[in-house]
Amino acid sequence: MILLAPSILSADFSRLGEEVSAVEAAGAQYLHIDVMDGHFVPNISFGAPVMKSIRKMSQMVFDVHLMISDPLRYIDDFAAAGADIITFHIGCSSDIDETLDKIKSHNIKCGLAVNPDIPAERLFPYRDKIDMALIMSVFAGFGGQSYIDGVNAKIQAARTFFGPDFDIEVDGGINLTNKTVPIANGANVLVAGTAIFGAQSPKEAVCSFLNETEIDN
């Protein structure tokens, strides 16, 4: 099953609740929540309080993507705010095993992410601890970037290693024009930000994305 995860990084924050409700009503299954600290990546986005404020109005899977230097320090906060999945990056300063164990202690799913310049093989030692592998198809930290075709081989490698039933998420530059590319290479969770929330109607954008990609609802 292919899952769509609209990223609120591209949403209109003056209408955040309304836009979240719109994409959920249109059939989006996940809500991708990009958290940036201004250190691990250059930009700053938002923290757990913003996520908590929309948790009460949505039944979507909250897919939290921590682009921060010390994710271990904040796992408890995001778990308490309603995260269903917490993913952090190889290359952060936190101990990976300790951070994965902390996420699991909250009985929620955990994932590991790699930027385009980090081999997919860096994820493989954590196979028994993670529920999802996130392959970045742009460099983390900015919305609106173009899809990097060079990551397709990494998606294939991850799918081959983790097997057919494992979640492989791809994030960055995915739109209605290239949406089938990551799927063809083995992805089953697609993050789309600008293509959804940058559209005149996010709800209509989700419907088009789902229908034209033949994504299951």
Write the pLDDT tens digit of every residue in 59-99.
Answer: 999 999 999 999 999 999 999 999 999 999 999 999 999 99
Give the sheet arrangement for strand 30-36, strand by strand.
3-6, 189-192, 167-171, 132-136, 109-114, 85-89, 61-67, 30-36
Residue ranges for the known binding site for substrate are 7, 65, 141-144, 171-173, 193-194
pTM above 0.85, yes or no: yes
Whether 171 sits among the annotated catalytic residues: the reply is yes
Which domains are delineated in the chain?
3-213 (3.20.20.70)
- From CA 127, how far away is CA 28, in angstroms rounded? 27
User: Residue 14 pLDDT more than 90?
Assistant: yes
Catalytic-role residue among 12, 34, 97, 167? 34
Collapse the DSSP code of 54 into the 3-class scheme (helix H, G, I; strand E, B; otherwise coil) and give the result.
helix
Whether 216 sits among the annotated catalytic residues: the reply is no
Angle subtended by helix axes 202-213 and 16-26, to nearest 10: 30
Residue 143 — very low, low, confident or very high, per pLDDT cuts 50/70/90? low
The backbone region for 79, taken as left when phi is positive above 0, alpha when psi lies in -120 to 50, beta otherwise, is: alpha
- From CA 51, how far away is CA 151, in angstroms rounded? 29
